[in-house]
Structure 1
């Protein structure tokens, strides 16, 4: 899940911070899955990039899986826990957070093949009692492609019983509708929770059991599960925060998340299992899905926009990312406190890469690998869409100035929000949150901006503005979230929450991507 933005700084949410530190955990040698084979230079370069990132950002442990030029490579570096160190390898268990959504989407596609679900039917055909504020006609496809339109950051904890998803979906009745169904992409954890409930009602069993039957067991993903009890004897990568000096500190309690969020981000997995998952989605589907259904998961994207990079939209839970050269990147990734990962496929190049980290500073490395185009360039010969910053006049910037506010609903159903004030400065927009965090947003084309730290350091992320039907700027889409604009001079209520300093190594926090 993309984390609640009120739980960490916007720059860290966008791309995990620009400022590096100078020391880090030592890395242990990676072990390639191709024993005795010559390891290509590009793979060694990837390993060196990971080692350098661990040192720069003080990341205790990293595992990776790579499918490149027809061969698999799996490796691990560093330690699982700085307080009780064990080496990380390709079989170390991490939370994969929002990459879970692709498992939920694949289960939904299996049910579609069987005629149990129709992606273009209304959700109410399966859940007659389903209600949100203004979206009676929302379809299953819109739920799965992040265009359902209601508030997506709903993290209500509805208990641990088998009725947890039923209760969670009932609680969505109070979630505000932000945009009409199918009109605007906005990352939506709550919608994927609803998809989990659809899987339950069409299979007659609880979501976790259905997913195991539909996906995990047929693919023999034996080290992928929702609880550590199912992974007896596994070596687990412990989440880490940082102390006042920036040194990593283990926060094992951060592994816990409510069961209500399992469909959106609850799986544990390993680099080796994630690589097997990637190979399945690069392949022909075999006995699990037809080739047509696999491809359909990345066809017909919903509305596009930005989520760290520019995206064509989402297919069935997969983010579909364009490249300058044309081949499309199929991408996801996940963020929970101290557990951050990236995952991408390039079907036209036969490439897959997953990288898993166990630190709050992990997204800094992932931003370089996945949001920037380092991995695409080195491994696939592809590049992100070009983005050359330019200077705008004060008159051109005036239509974007104002206060932008995003909302979320927490574990106990409490509402919170975060505000970002944007003003014109030096041909760009200057931003400041209500906790005084600053950033710079230079435009590179109409309605699209880069995100920089105040010193001009690139945070490896992009954001965009969404216009209302009258043509005026209505929203800032930042980290996939919609921030509602209030033009300057308009009376507003200040946000009920704020962005604190970067995560301390103390308590668990609500889930993220």
Structure 2
């Protein structure tokens, strides 16, 4: 870790930066227009978030009304500062999944893969702890986060070319939480399976397959699995906070196991992420037919909540409804000190990506992506309404309990995160480690808002999933399933407390 820099000193220096500039594209070439008011408002919002939440560097890309803007602010590293701009590399973490899904769709177009064929049709030896589920699960279900097995497995299987093959083999002991195709639950391991299928179908290691199928054809020259593969690249270093709240650089957090590359390994820049958005908006690239691009956004799997309501996931894209009707297509990525958001709205010709290099980043991203701050201004869209209401103690009682989520660490050992939900003041209080972590007011049956203990809005939502008998079986938060154990029953066998890092979470876990 580097020497600490006080948050005040850092943010005074971060007030400047490289402001937005229109980038050349068929829609913007030759445009000399100044920066519009809405773009300036976005930049002001970003600067304010950097100051409020301790974010050393932010880069963004915006596509709006046929014009595109790229900007950067602050520094890459508080201990060795260089300016952040639209070409600075950040690890985009889980947005990598959308690249894996796109590579899969290229092979679907060629007739080499079928989304509705079983995984065992491509990986005959595939299995998890549930033999029946292992036989039934399809490639589509791995891509729409509904295979049903435990999704947060981060086992490090080494740096060799067999890393992903060994990772998938290690899934043999993963427990099945729900039957395939029934419940949305964010699933990193499932995309690992899809990445392995990509390897088998192409005869290449995952990284090479993705380069040849996606990165090179789209000229995404600032997107790679190692910064040294981008000559002259400037890299945003992850940052956290010490016990006094000072911002400190944590460069070692950039490293993740190779086994996680297919669901969280890419580095990219705001400029390349805009190119990625333009492609998925349908810029006429021959890489995928328009019907294949649309197919990635229809036939979603089970609906649920991932910080906001989603209609389900398509082929790796989260499909988010709005009050006005047009659907938002969204993803994002989270690793320690590297947090980003990405969304686009085909019906509004709008896209936004924001990349941050701090553990303060999720708070800014929540305001921009989970809230409808950006959607309302640039696309005229809003979240589905959620008006909190008080429930009686009798109405809260079926939800009370101890809820436990699991994950598998890099060394293969299990860990758990436990929440205790109890009724208080017409709402649920979520307690972790004996302290209140969240307040959960209901806004409709089985769905809750997530507020900070002081009542501040976190711009996120959660929900409860019922078992076959109609009883509350799970609390789904951050896309993860927490199994319910009624209050007063014996605790499940405890594993080591989960830190939920390292991982490739779509958004931040409980903090």
SS state at 1:31 partner = strand
1:68 to 59, 64, 68: 64
TM-score of the superposed pair, with normalisation by structure 1? 0.93
Moved more, 303-312 or 277-286: 277-286
Checking the alignment, whether the CA contact within 8 Å between 1:398 and 1:424 is kept in structure 2 is yes
Moved more, 300-309 or 22-31: 22-31
Cα shift readout 1:94-132 (whole Å, capped 9, x = no counterpart): 000000000000000001001111000101001111011
Cα shift readout 1:372-425 (whole Å, capped 9, x = no counterpart): 110101111100000000000111101000000000000010001011001111
Task: Give 1:287 deviation, angstroms.
Answer: 1.4
Q: Structure 1: how far apart are the matches of 2:51 and 2:16?
A: 8
Q: Structure 1: how far apart are the matches of 2:176 and 2:502?
A: 25
Q: Does residue 512 of the first structure (1) align with residue 505 of the second (2)?
A: yes
SS state at 1:32 partner = strand
Q: Structure 2: how far apart are the matches of 1:310 and 1:352?
A: 19
1:120 to 88, 113, 116: 116
Q: Residues 325 and 405 (structure 1 numbering): CA distance in 2 closer, same or farther, change over 3 Å?
A: same
Task: Give 1:285 deviation, angstroms.
Answer: 5.0
1:91 aligns with 87
2:42 aligns with 46
SS state at 2:63 partner = strand
Q: Structure 2: how far apart are the matches of 1:232 and 1:248?
A: 29
Cα shift readout 1:231-272 (whole Å, capped 9, x = no counterpart): 122000011011222121111110000000000000000000
Q: Structure 1: how far apart are the matches of 2:305 and 2:496?
A: 24
CA RMSD of aligned residues (A): 1.6
1:253 aligns with 252
Unaligned runs of 5+ in 1: 1-19
Checking the alignment, whether the CA contact within 8 Å between 1:22 and 1:56 is kept in structure 2 is no
Q: Structure 2: how far apart are the matches of 1:55 and 1:463?
A: 28
Checking the alignment, whether the CA contact within 8 Å between 1:284 and 1:290 is kept in structure 2 is no
Greater RCO between the two (CA within 8 Å, min separation 6)? Answer: 1
SS state at 2:159 partner = coil
Q: Residues 433 and 22 (structure 1 numbering): CA distance in 2 closer, same or farther, change over 3 Å?
A: farther
Q: How does 1:150-169 map to 2 (within 5 A)?
A: 150-169=149-168
1:375 aligns with 374
1:30 aligns with 19
Q: How does 1:282-361 map to 2 (within 5 A)?
A: 282-361=281-360
Q: Structure 1: how far apart are the matches of 2:10 and 2:473?
A: 43
SS state at 2:69 partner = strand
Q: Does residue 189 of the first structure (1) align with residue 188 of the second (2)?
A: yes
Q: Structure 2: how far apart are the matches of 1:159 and 1:255?
A: 16
1:147 aligns with 146
Task: Give 1:494 deviation, angstroms.
Answer: 5.4
Cα shift readout 1:69-100 (whole Å, capped 9, x = no counterpart): 00010000011111111110000000000000
Q: Residues 338 and 44 (structure 1 numbering): CA distance in 2 closer, same or farther, change over 3 Å?
A: same
Q: Residues 122 and 429 (structure 1 numbering): CA distance in 2 closer, same or farther, change over 3 Å?
A: same
Checking the alignment, whether the CA contact within 8 Å between 1:418 and 1:495 is kept in structure 2 is no
1:408 aligns with 407
Task: Give 1:438 deviation, angstroms.
Answer: 2.3
Task: Give 1:21 deviation, angstroms.
Answer: 9.0
SS state at 2:233 partner = coil
Q: Structure 1: how far apart are the matches of 2:63 and 2:143?
A: 27
SS state at 2:497 partner = coil
Checking the alignment, whether the CA contact within 8 Å between 2:415 and 2:498 is kept in structure 1 is no
Task: Give 1:39 deviation, angstroms.
Answer: 1.9
Checking the alignment, whether the CA contact within 8 Å between 1:285 and 1:294 is kept in structure 2 is no
Q: Structure 1: how far apart are the matches of 2:205 and 2:437?
A: 44
Cα shift readout 1:344-396 (whole Å, capped 9, x = no counterpart): 00000000000000001011100000011101011111000000000001111
SS state at 1:129 partner = coil
Cα shift readout 1:430-489 (whole Å, capped 9, x = no counterpart): 110136342110000000000011111111100000000000000000000000001122
1:12 aligns with none
Task: Give 1:183 deviation, angstroms.
Answer: 0.2
1:15 aligns with none
SS state at 1:172 partner = helix
1:420 aligns with 419
SS state at 2:111 partner = coil
Checking the alignment, whether the CA contact within 8 Å between 2:333 and 2:504 is kept in structure 1 is no
SS state at 1:262 partner = helix
TM-score of the superposed pair, with normalisation by structure 2? 0.93
Q: Structure 1: how far apart are the matches of 2:325 and 2:91?
A: 32
Q: Structure 1: how far apart are the matches of 2:290 and 2:430?
A: 46
Task: Give 1:58 deviation, angstroms.
Answer: 1.3
Checking the alignment, whether the CA contact within 8 Å between 1:66 and 1:73 is kept in structure 2 is yes
Checking the alignment, whether the CA contact within 8 Å between 1:339 and 1:357 is kept in structure 2 is yes
Q: How many residues align?
A: 488
Q: Does residue 204 of the first structure (1) align with residue 200 of the second (2)?
A: no
Q: Residues 429 and 331 (structure 1 numbering): CA distance in 2 closer, same or farther, change over 3 Å?
A: same
Q: Residues 395 and 353 (structure 1 numbering): CA distance in 2 closer, same or farther, change over 3 Å?
A: same
Checking the alignment, whether the CA contact within 8 Å between 1:208 and 1:226 is kept in structure 2 is yes
